[in-house]
Structure 1
Amino acid sequence: MPQPYDVITMGRIGVDLYPLRVGVPLAQVETFGKFLGGSAANVAVAAARLGRRAAVVTRTGQDAFGDYLHQALRGFRVDDRWVTAVPGLPTPVTFCEIFPPDDFPLYFYRQPKAPDLEVRAEELDMDAIGAARVFWVTGTGLCAEPSREATLAALEHRAKSGTTVFDLDWRPMFWDSATGTSADGARPYYAKALARATVAVGNLEECEIATGEREPFAAARALLGAGVELAVVKQGPEGVLAVHSDGTVAEGPPVKVDVVNGLGAGDAFGGAMVHGLLSGWELERVMRFANAAGAIVAARLACSSAMPYAAEVDALLDGHAPGPEADPEPEAPAGPRPGTDGGPGTGAAPGAAS
């Protein structure tokens, strides 16, 4: 049997189109940069940048943007074997506006339906999912069928083996609110996912959606009560709180950086948290490292290509300011897919962005 993956993520993917001018509304932007995006894809890239064997389970359109996402994943050394195309549905595109230090409006184009919500339970490689050292799912994956059934089936198959992370990832615009608020519709499915996960991670708003609690310690206790072993509550400029069911508490202070784009900081935090947990570090060290990784991405323009290497995170923790974005990975050659071998303001990061 092939060596298990360090981390398999499952969920959203798309193309991010970011303005190349900061502090300018979209109506006035003339040039954009094109990047791999989506929380599940970004977390996999963040873990891969830290040396972890990563793969993502998702779907794209059968179009040029879908081809681009395959190329980008391979370039970041993320296994794309479980990224499949859905004929008739376009690959999602997301635009943002960049107004540092804390205003980054997002505009999602996922109509008529995002292909990543067409992941089906019967098509999942449950053996690989069950064997992965970390399995990561997101709240967005619960917002519609058949992705909802597939996400819960994968969690059920894991049966809390290894580390199973539920990223609360609250995006209300993806949920149908025809029979009440989108939060009302989401909570029962969030409860099912929490009962099957070992780790929950989210910002204050996401924790409130999942548990009804917004005060950090109360939210962490509610997440533990819902079934997880580790609750991670991101608090933006107040840092991060992590509480384990064994009584361990870690509070990671914010890392001060000159914020360029806060989007993606939460995904960098997630990939770095995975790396720290797999490394067997004490909880406080995991949170400090993850906070620093998120801060580095917040100080850069992009998300996926901004994910830091371990040496960059260590340098920031040693007091050095984050440098520019690392050179992109060399483009992967054509052929078999990889994986068989293995103007800114000042703010704090990573906190709420994801």
Structure 2
Amino acid sequence: MAESARSLDLITMGRTGVDLCPHQSVLPPTRVASPEKIFDGSATNVAAAAARLGRSTAVLTCAGDTGELDYFAIRAARVLWITGTALSEEPGRSATLAALKARDRAGTTVFDLDWRPELWPDPEEARPYYAEALRHATVAVGTLDECEVATGLREPRACAEQLLATGAELAVVKRGAEGVLAVHRDGTFVEAPAVGVEAVDGRGAGEAFGGFLVHGLLSGWELKKTLRHAGAAAALVASRPAASRAMPTESEVEALLARG
């Protein structure tokens, strides 16, 4: 992987799994005769979303210990994406923190707060590990609930400012139907409204947002454009089944935005 890492736009680090997606969406899962098996997991879906946009991506998962990590690849990739889920237990916790330290804020390092309450007995237990990851990240992104876990605050802009104070250069707070806001260390403040669609399956929407966030950052887009496209991508995936296979193209997102 070391030789090809120079051309990688994105390495994501975290969960890979298999999801069962029913063809008959009107039936409950227990009554579906032959659900389709598709790759899933937040890190996998972000990589799939970015690849759909033409980005070269790779997923680093199931590292048994930190000795198995390819530190050259981690440092060479233009963007490293890590998740809060990976911090919930060993060996993922040590591997993730080791990767962050090895990268040493080279390029863009995104910390997806990715809070899963079933993996942590208490938010207070997660907060020190989140703080450690934020010290090495350049971008922090999460829902309002996830930002509250990381910061102890609930007001969206206050959450973003605290994420910056902890170490990030850009903080992105997703607020569902109320849209998204972002604050940059240089003082830039941007809000973008949510895009309304008829939801079919919410799985993968956050990862579609992440894929477009990476694409916008690598493309040098203005922050407002990045957030609008990322929000529209999330809305499109929410209107489709099959998470990782539902990730939209740039032209599909632009068409949705053009329709208002």
TM-score by length of 1: 0.70
* Aligned equivalent of 2:87: 142
Aligned length: 257
* Aligned equivalent of 1:228: 168
The CA deviation at 1:184 is 1.8
1:271-282 aligned at under 5 Å gives the runs 271-282=211-222
> Which of 206, 210, 214 is the equivalent residue of 1:266?
206
Contact 1:12/1:39, CA 8 A, preserved across alignment:
yes
* Aligned equivalent of 1:164: 109
Please give the alpha-carbon distance, in whole angstroms, between the structure 1 residues aligned to 2:80 and 2:142.
16
Please give the alpha-carbon distance, in whole angstroms, between the structure 2 residues aligned to 1:239 and 1:252.
6
Contact 1:58/1:119, CA 8 A, preserved across alignment:
no
1:303-318 aligned at under 5 Å gives the runs 303-318=243-258
> Which of 29, 42, 47 is the equivalent residue of 1:39?
42
1:1-354 aligned at under 5 Å gives the runs 1-2=3-4, 3-22=6-25, 24-59=27-62, 118-175=63-120, 177=121, 181=122, 183-319=123-259
The superposition leaves residues 240-284 of structure 1 with CA deviations (integer Å, 9 ceiling, x where unpaired) of 111101011111111111111111100000001000000001100
Please give the alpha-carbon distance, in whole angstroms, between the structure 2 residues aligned to 1:255 and 1:6.
27
Please give the alpha-carbon distance, in whole angstroms, between the structure 2 residues aligned to 1:223 and 1:304.
28
Contact 1:6/1:132, CA 8 A, preserved across alignment:
yes
3-state SS, counterpart of residue 50 of structure 2: helix
Please give the alpha-carbon distance, in whole angstroms, between the structure 1 residues aligned to 2:239 and 2:93.
34
Please give the alpha-carbon distance, in whole angstroms, between the structure 1 residues aligned to 2:64 and 2:191.
36
The CA deviation at 1:27 is 3.8
Please give the alpha-carbon distance, in whole angstroms, between the structure 1 residues aligned to 2:118 and 2:64.
19
The higher-RCO structure (CA 8 Å, 6+ apart) is 1
Please give the alpha-carbon distance, in whole angstroms, between the structure 1 residues aligned to 2:218 and 2:17.
27
Q: What do you get for the CA RMSD once the two structures are aligned?
A: 1.4
Contact 1:207/1:233, CA 8 A, preserved across alignment:
yes
Higher Cα Rg: structure 1 or 2? Answer: 1
The CA deviation at 1:21 is 3.3
The superposition leaves residues 284-328 of structure 1 with CA deviations (integer Å, 9 ceiling, x where unpaired) of 0110111111111011011110001111111111118xxxxxxxx
3-state SS, counterpart of residue 259 of structure 1: coil
Matched to 2:112, the amino acid is: D
* Aligned equivalent of 1:107: none
Please give the alpha-carbon distance, in whole angstroms, between the structure 1 residues aligned to 2:7 and 2:29.
43
3-state SS, counterpart of residue 213 of structure 1: coil
Matched to 2:99, the amino acid is: A
**Structure 2: which 5+ runs fail to align?**
none
Matched to 1:287, the amino acid is: L
Please give the alpha-carbon distance, in whole angstroms, between the structure 1 residues aligned to 2:26 and 2:162.
39
The CA deviation at 1:235 is 0.4
3-state SS, counterpart of residue 132 of structure 2: helix
Higher share in helix: 2
**Structure 1: which 5+ runs fail to align?**
60-117, 321-354
